[in-house]
Amino acid sequence: MKFRYLLLAAAVAAGVPMGAQAQMRALSDPVVGHPDPESLFTSRDPVLHRNKQTALRIQRELLKCNEWARAGEWLTDKYIQHNPVAASGLKGVQEYFLNVARVRPVSPCPALSASDPNAVVMVSAEGDYVTILTKRIVPYADDPTQSYTTTWFDTWRFVDGKADEHWDPATLPTMPPAPIASVDTVVREAAERAAIEKLMWDYVAAADSLDANAYAAAFTPDGAFGQSKGAEALKGMINGLRTSMGTRSAGMHHVMSNMNIEFLSPTRARVFYYWQTVFGGAAGAQTPVRVAAVGRGMDDVVKVGGKWLIQNRNVSYKHPSEGNLPTTAPASAPR
């Protein structure tokens, strides 16, 4: 058994994940409650006896039998707590147990016994302090149907026969660690991002060339850009622009930048970006560059049949904190 413990300790020191092996099992003897626990709350010293008797009432009437409406009989109004999940003050203690936890008193209130889940093991009193050791049952993390026992303590400082301050070994609840993405997940998401970026490249290439078929192919069958919804409507929009713009479309470029892809599910994502519609400015040409419009966009994209497609293109996306950038594009220019 000791050899097994040393092996486990060595594994921890070496950084071996404990999830890869069975959790350690307790090596200690079980904690056993005193056969006559209430006999421990007495003393020949009258002050110690009074404090021990109050500690008995806290352990029995409050902690075992939930008579929190009577807590003022044994706790001071100030009642200082050092348990990190409990507030100080008698009123706060009563508010929690009576109105939040809504515990119900046990009546009649039975005596403490060795069979209590938190059976009393030992009681010690000195000066103004009383300490109670109790049994604590802890389930194993890898098999909650099994458990082991350890020792809890409560220490009170008394003022005129009432508990005025309390200590115990409680800690704040530990939050589960954030899940670490597996290598497969990271690789898969990177591939999906690349596919969505390729979709956006195909979209702007089709928009710049006014290729109606390629433009509609970037959308789902029911995909939409503004009021144009469905493949035929999208093709009609591009063919209409080809007719109205004529040769002016030759120097048209759509620019998408600052792109951020947010996955909503394995088959749904949102693409946030800035966009510009630019005319002219070809290398060596005399025509100056003209920015026709700028703005923010948010496109909904979905994966259909293994291929990412635009379901809805929104080039008038309003940022929650800043609003839209000004847009000055003519109605005839795709964005």
pLDDT at 142: 85
Size of the chain in residues = 335
Task: Answer yes or no: do 126 and 225 share one domain.
Answer: no
Query: Is there a contact between 252 and 277 (Cβ–Cβ < 8 Å)?
Result: yes
Residue 252 β-bridge partners: 279
Q: Are 275 and 335 in contact (CB under 8 A)?
A: yes
255: domain CATH number?
3.10.450.50
Query: What is the model's pLDDT at position 320?
Result: 64
- Total domains in the chain come to 2
End-to-end CA distance of the chain: 72
pLDDT at 6: 34
Does any domain span residue 91? yes
Residue that is last in its domain, among 133, 167, 201: 167
> Quick one: which of 96, 169, 88, 103 has its CA closest to 134?
169
Looking at the fold, whether 246 and 158 belong to one and the same domain comes out as no
- Supply the pLDDT for residue 22: 59
- Flag whether 177 is in a domain: no
Structural domain includes residue 141: yes
DSSP tally for the chain: helices H, then strands E:
6, 11
Q: pLDDT by residue for the chain (335 residues), tens digit each?
A: 333 333 334 334 444 444 434 578 999 999 999 999 999 999 999 999 999 999 999 999 999 999 999 999 999 999 999 999 888 999 989 998 898 888 999 999 999 999 999 999 999 999 999 999 999 999 998 888 899 999 999 999 999 999 999 999 999 888 777 677 778 888 888 999 999 999 999 999 999 999 999 999 999 999 999 899 999 999 999 999 888 877 666 678 889 999 999 999 999 999 999 999 988 766 666 677 888 899 999 999 999 999 999 999 999 887 665 544 444 444 444 56
Indicate whether 332 belongs to any domain: no
Q: Are residues 162 and 228 in the same domain?
A: no
**Does 144 share its domain with 193?**
no
Please tell me the predicted confidence (pLDDT) of residue 2.
39
65 in the same domain as 128: yes
Stated pTM of the model: 0.51
Pairwise CA distance, residues 31 & 133, whole Å: 10
Q: Are residues 120 and 39 in the same domain?
A: yes
- Domain contains 105: yes
Separation between Cα atoms, residue 167 and residue 235, nearest integer Å: 75
Which amino acid appears at position 85 of this protein?
V
Q: What is the pLDDT of residue 137?
A: 95
pLDDT at residue 328, as a whole number: 42
Question: How far are the Cα atoms of 231, 267, 310 from residue 306, in angstroms, in the given order?
Answer: 19, 9, 13
Quick one: DSSP state of residue 24? Answer: P
Q: Are residues 215 and 274 in the same domain?
A: yes
Is residue 4 assigned to a domain?
no
Do both 246 and 278 map to the same domain?
A: yes
Same domain as 194, residue 222: yes
Domain for residue 320, yes or no?
Answer: no
Choose one of 139, 167, 195: the last residue of a domain: 167
Q: Does 161 lie in the same domain as 40? A: yes
Q: What is the pLDDT of residue 133?
A: 98
Q: Are β-strands 219-225 and 252-265 bridged in parallel, bridged antiparallel, or unpaired? A: unpaired
* Shared domain check, 268 and 214: yes
* Domain, as residue range, for 235: 186-314
Task: Say whether both 161 and 30 belong to one domain.
Answer: yes
**Any domain includes 129:** yes
Q: How far apart are CA 312 and CA 67, in angstroms?
A: 61
